[in-house]
């Protein structure tokens, strides 16, 4: 496809309801949700917070604040997955988002580490709806040939939310201390509800949707339905599914361990001020936002999503330790934050891979399982990184090496998924040159 045709196709997509409204609303939701997730990474670098709760030098406990979130996040996804398949993504999105705001108010009044740990756990429970809701809406609203890009689009939310959230949260802490920051974010958490009041669970229920767009979505869904896919019960017996789950563990561990510990690293180890840290991390997170979308585009363009993910993991392996140890301080901050594109990009590919193997009515439950297991196990990541800092007398290199080794494992898993897919027979769709395996469509 020529660049001119690519540009025309892009503008056409942005003019559709699914991209102009559904995808952008999901992006906004994930962006604001990220403010609630990452604020703790800046709070633990705030001297007044550390003094108030007497947490100086208690690295494992500080890592536990992110881990507590992920335990609640992961456990609740199992339940949210079933609720989304039963009641639909829209009502589950609204219920979970209202709970976010309530828990953020609770965090603002925490007076002990234990109270803050409980609030972080409950915040994870409330935000556990994000993966099942988003994956269900993507499966219902987007043709299969757009799944990687659609997932990558709303998964720009973690990087964009971090890029915007770092200066925003820093400014709020400086203006009104960490408690005031929590109150402001609690109110802000409710703003995505306005958009979703105009979005239906399914395209055929959407008012004012153009008939041409509905026909396009439904036509691709019928083509996809012609490919044999697993029931929820069969999915749980599938080696492919559990390989994707392992990949999700690696993605989730990498992204939130990096987001939690990078601000502290560039301040305490590289000597950046809080203001300069905010500027350079923001630059890197904007680069990560573009990188996430690029990974999704390559996955859809090549329809070799597992192979794309393997190469993306290797990029992280090659760059993370040198970026932390060898680059100047500002460059280190930019590259480390830009590398967030790797776990976000492969998470988008994980979702697209899941869509190819499970029946549409079981997507939310499948998502709840693989993202729930991924999040629960990944709770070890921030805690383990903190333990390695303590064991190495305050040095961070061991933590970055730990994440690099995890992504070596991730690359091997994706290569195994690609090899399995390459051995399956394929058929061509009428609407695309993409090849879809009949018995094992993961690629």
User: Is the model's pLDDT at 438 over the cut of 60?
Assistant: no
pLDDT tier at 41, thresholds 50, 70, 90: confident
Q: Is the pLDDT of residue 227 over 80?
A: no
Average pLDDT estimate for 62-87? 85
Residue 240 domain-assigned (yes or no): yes
CA angle 184, 188, 192 (to 5 degrees): 175
| Chain centre to alpha carbon of residue 122 | 19
> Most confidently modeled of 22-31, 138-147, 156-165, 222-231?
22-31
CA 373, CA 390: separation in Å to the nearest integer?
27
What is the tens place of the pLDDT at every residue in 7-36? 445 556 767 889 989 999 999 999 999 888
Query: What's the pLDDT score for residue 228?
Result: 56
Rg from Cα positions in the chain: 21
Burial 324-359 (b: 16+ CB within 10 A, else e): beebebbebbbbbbbbbbbbbbbbbbbbbbbbbbbb
In percent, the amount of the chain with pLDDT more than 70 equals 90
Q: Does residue 443 fall inside a structural domain?
A: no
The total number of structural domains that make up the chain: 1
Residue 6 lies in a domain: no
Around Cβ 425, how many Cβ atoms within 10 Å? 9
Q: Is residue 5 part of a domain?
A: no
Q: How far apart (Å, rounded) are the C-alpha atoms in residues 310 and 319?
A: 15
Whether residue 308 is contained in a domain is answered as: yes
- Which CATH number fits the domain that encloses residue 125? 1.20.1250.20
State mean pLDDT over 268-278.
Answer: 87
Residue 220 pLDDT > 70: no
Q: Give dist(CA 22, CA 206) in Å, integer.
A: 11
Structural domain span for residue 179: 12-202+213-437
pLDDT band, very low/low/confident/very high, at 4 (cuts 50, 70, 90): very low
Q: Between 62 and 142, where is the model more confident? A: 142
CA distance 392 to 176: 35
Q: Residue 429 in contact with residue 408, Cβ under 8 Å?
A: no
Concatenating the DSSP letter of every residue in 225-289 gives HTS--B-HHHHTT-HHHHHHHHHHHHHHHHHHHHHHHHHHHHHHTT---HHHHHHHHHHHHHHHH
* Cβ count within 10 A of residue 148: 29
Reduced 3-state DSSP string for 74-94: HHHHHHHHHHHHHHCHHHHHH
Q: Among residues of the chain, what percentage have pLDDT more than 90?
A: 34
The per-residue pLDDT for 127 is 92
The mean predicted confidence, pLDDT, of the chain is 84
2 lies in some domain: no
Please state, in angstroms and rounded to a whole number, the distance separating the CA atoms of residues 98 and 107.
15
Burial class of 223 by CB neighbour count within 10 A (0 to 12, 13 to 18, 19+): middle
Whole-number pLDDT of residue 87 = 92
Res 441: pLDDT: 54
Residues 241-252 have pLDDT tens digits of 999 999 999 998
Q: Are 128 and 80 in contact (CB under 8 A)?
A: yes
Find the mean pLDDT for residues 195-209: 89
Rounded Cα–Cα distance for residues 19 and 153 (Å): 9
Q: What is the structure's pLDDT at 12?
A: 67
Rounded Cα–Cα distance for residues 90 and 84 (Å): 8
According to the per-residue pLDDT averaged within each range, which of 53-62, 287-296, 370-379 is highest? 287-296
Judged against a pLDDT cut of 50, whether residue 56 lies above it is answered with yes
* Interatomic CA distance for residues 377 and 331, integer angstroms: 31
| Higher pLDDT among residues 309 and 355, named by residue | 309
Predicted pLDDT of residue 427: 39
Residue found under tokens 């039963």 = 86
For 370-416, write each residue's pLDDT tens digit: 888 887 888 788 888 888 988 888 889 999 999 999 999 999 999 99
């Amino acid at each position: 496809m020529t660049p001119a045709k690519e540009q025309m196709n892009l503008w056409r997509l942005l003019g559709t309801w699914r991209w102009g409204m559904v995808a952008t609303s999901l992006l906004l939701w994930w962006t604001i949700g990220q403010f609630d997730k990452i604020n703790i990474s800046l709070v633990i670098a705030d001297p007044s917070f550390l003094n108030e709760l007497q947490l100086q030098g208690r690295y494992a406990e500080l890592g536990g604040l992110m881990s507590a979130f992920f335990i609640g996040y992961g456990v609740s996804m199992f339940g949210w997955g079933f609720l989304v398949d039963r009641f639909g993504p829209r009502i589950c999105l609204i219920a979970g988002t209202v709970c976010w705001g309530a828990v953020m108010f609770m965090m603002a009044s925490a007076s002990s580490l234990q109270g803050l740990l409980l609030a972080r756990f409950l915040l994870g429970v409330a935000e556990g709806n994000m993966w099942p809701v988003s994956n269900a809406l993507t499966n219902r609203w987007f043709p299969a040939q757009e799944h990687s890009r659609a997932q990558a689009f709303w998964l720009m939310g973690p990087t964009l939310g971090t890029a915007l959230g770092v200066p925003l949260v820093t400014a709020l802490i400086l203006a009104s201390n960490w408690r005031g920051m929590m109150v402001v974010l609690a109110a802000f958490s409710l703003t995505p509800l306005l958009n979703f009041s105009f979005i239906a669970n399914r395209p055929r229920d959407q008012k004012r949707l153009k008939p041409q767009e509905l026909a396009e979505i439904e036509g691709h869904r019928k083509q996809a339905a012609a490919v044999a896919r697993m029931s929820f019960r069969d999915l749980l017996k599938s080696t492919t599914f559990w390989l994707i789950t392992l990949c999700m563990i690696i993605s989730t561990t990498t992204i939130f361990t990096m987001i939690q510990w990078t601000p502290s690293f560039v301040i305490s180890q590289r000597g950046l001020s809080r203001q300069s840290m905010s500027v350079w991390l923001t630059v890197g997170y904007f680069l990560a936002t573009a990188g996430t979308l690029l990974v999704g585009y390559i996955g859809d363009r090549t329809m070799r999503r597992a192979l794309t993910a393997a190469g993306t993991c290797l990029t992280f392996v090659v760059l993370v330790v040198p970026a932390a140890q060898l680059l100047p301080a500002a460059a280190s901050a930019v590259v480390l934050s830009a590398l967030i594109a790797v776990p976000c990009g492969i998470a988008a590919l994980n979702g697209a891979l899941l869509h190819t193997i499970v029946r549409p009515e079981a997507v939310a439950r499948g998502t709840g399982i693989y993202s729930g297991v991924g999040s629960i196990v990944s709770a070890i990541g921030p805690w383990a990184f903190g333990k390695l800092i303590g064991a190495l007398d305050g040095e961070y290199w061991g933590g970055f090496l730990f994440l690099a080794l995890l992504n070596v494992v991730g690359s091997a898993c994706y290569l195994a998924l690609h090899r399995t897919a390459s051995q399956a027979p394929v058929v061509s769709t009428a609407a695309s040159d993409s090849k879809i395996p009949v018995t094992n469509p993961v690629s």
